[in-house]
């Protein structure tokens, strides 16, 4: 009888161990799958940015010919007006290419193009190259992508004039700071209290409501924090990472 009890206990222990191993493997697989999806998105964004830069280079050669022609004709007012338009287009791409992280640069360029295609002004202010930020690029892309996508959806659903999203990346001696703000509607107090909980949504469609919980999980794993402020004029999400954390 004692041998039977011993073997039964051994079987139970083995089942528990195997179950634990399966759980760890499944969790690792899901994490790798999420990482691969994010990496594929980053690669697509980088490819799009590269294509845009090549097209811009070709266009700027044509612009130079136009400017030279206007100068030859002494049409200086027209030349000045033309140069201002070209400079604004150059600035849109140039502002997105200021960090040391190509995936972030490509993401910002892609989101800028998406926003502007929907009639939303997209402003990028980069005052840090993020060279010593200790978080995987693909994870930071997921954080920024979710925050920007939420801002786009908020503005798409409202009838405000002069829709605008601003992304400000800066640093202090102690922190890296990311601000994503939009001039969409105010977030209600009950929504704000629950929006970082997994599965919470104000939408009926499947998939909505998961973005901010993903952001929260990534930040917790990388010693980051997130704060939000919302009023009738502006909604701001602020992400911070301590230097050396």
Nearest-angstrom CA–CA distance, 39 and 50: 16
Residue 235 parent element (H or E): strand 235-242
Model pLDDT, residue 207: 38
Range of the domain at 147: 18-242
Q: In the prediction, which pLDDT does 3 show?
A: 65
Cα–Cα distance measured from residue 220 to residue 239, given in angstroms and rounded to the nearest whole number = 11
Please tell me the predicted confidence (pLDDT) of residue 206. Answer: 39
By the 8 A CB rule, do 107 and 145 touch?
yes
Looking at residue 57, its pLDDT comes to 65
Q: What is the pLDDT of residues 170-213, one digit of tens each?
A: 999 999 999 999 999 998 888 888 888 776 766 544 334 457 88
What pLDDT was estimated at residue 208? Answer: 42
The answer as to whether 50 is a domain residue is yes
30 falls within a domain: yes
DSSP state of 230: E
Contacts of 113 (CB under 8 A, 6+ apart): 48, 52
Please compute the mean of the pLDDT values over residues 106-131 and round it to a whole number.
88
State whether residue 204 is helix, strand or coil: coil
pLDDT of residue 40: 72
**In-domain check, residue 113:** yes
In a domain, 73, yes or no: yes
For residues 41-66, average pLDDT: 67
The CATH number of the domain holding residue 79 is 3.30.565.10
Q: Which of 205, 114, 201, 110 is nearest to 155 (CA)?
A: 114
Percentage above 70 pLDDT, the chain: 75
Higher pLDDT, 3 or 109: 109
Number of domains observed in the structure of the chain: 1
Q: Which pLDDT does position 172 carry in this prediction? A: 93
Least trusted range by pLDDT, from 6-15, 118-127, 169-178: 6-15
Q: Is residue 4 part of a domain?
A: no
User: Cβ neighbours of residue 71 under 8 Å, at least 6 residues apart?
Assistant: 79
Q: Does residue 200 lie within any of the structural domains?
A: yes
The band of 42, judged by pLDDT with boundaries at 50, 70 and 90, is low
pLDDT of residue 76: 81
Look up tokens 């000045």; give the residue. 80
> 238 with 228: CB under 8 angstroms?
yes
3-class secondary-structure state, position 200: coil
CB atoms within 10 A of CB 44: 12
Assigned domain for 204 exists: yes
For residues 245 and 239, give the distance between their C-alpha atoms in angstroms, rounded to a whole number.
14
Is residue 138 included in any domain, yes or no?
yes
**Residue 242 main-chain phi, psi, to 5 deg:** -75, 140
Question: Quick one: pLDDT band at residue 162, thresholds 50, 70, 90?
Answer: very high
């Amino acid at each position: 009888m004692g041998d039977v009890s011993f073997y039964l206990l051994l079987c139970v222990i083995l089942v528990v161990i195997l179950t634990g191993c399966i759980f760890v493997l499944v969790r690792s697989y899901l994490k790798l799958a999420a990482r691969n999806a994010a990496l594929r998105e980053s690669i697509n964004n980088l490819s799009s940015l590269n294509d845009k830069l090549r097209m811009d280079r070709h266009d700027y050669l044509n612009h130079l010919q136009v400017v030279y022609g206007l100068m030859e004709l002494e049409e200086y007012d027209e030349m000045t007006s033309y140069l201002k338009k070209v400079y604004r287009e150059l600035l849109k791409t140039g502002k997105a290419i200021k960090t040391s992280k190509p995936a972030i640069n490509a993401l910002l360029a892609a989101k800028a193009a998406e926003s502007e295609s929907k009639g939303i002004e997209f402003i990028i202010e980069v005052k840090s190259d993020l060279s010593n930020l200790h978080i995987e690029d693909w994870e930071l892309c997921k954080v920024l992508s979710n925050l920007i996508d939420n801002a786009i959806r908020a503005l798409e659903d409202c009838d405000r004039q002069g829709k605008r999203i601003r992304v400000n990346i800066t640093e202090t001696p102690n922190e890296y700071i990311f601000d994503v703000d939009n001039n969409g509607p105010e977030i209600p107090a009950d929504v704000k209290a629950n929006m970082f909980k997994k599965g919470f949504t104000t939408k009926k469609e499947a998939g909505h409501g998961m973005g901010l919980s993903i952001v929260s999980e990534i930040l917790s794993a990388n010693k980051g924090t997130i704060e939000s402020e919302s009023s009738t004029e502006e909604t701001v999400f602020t992400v911070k990472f301590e230097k050396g954390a």
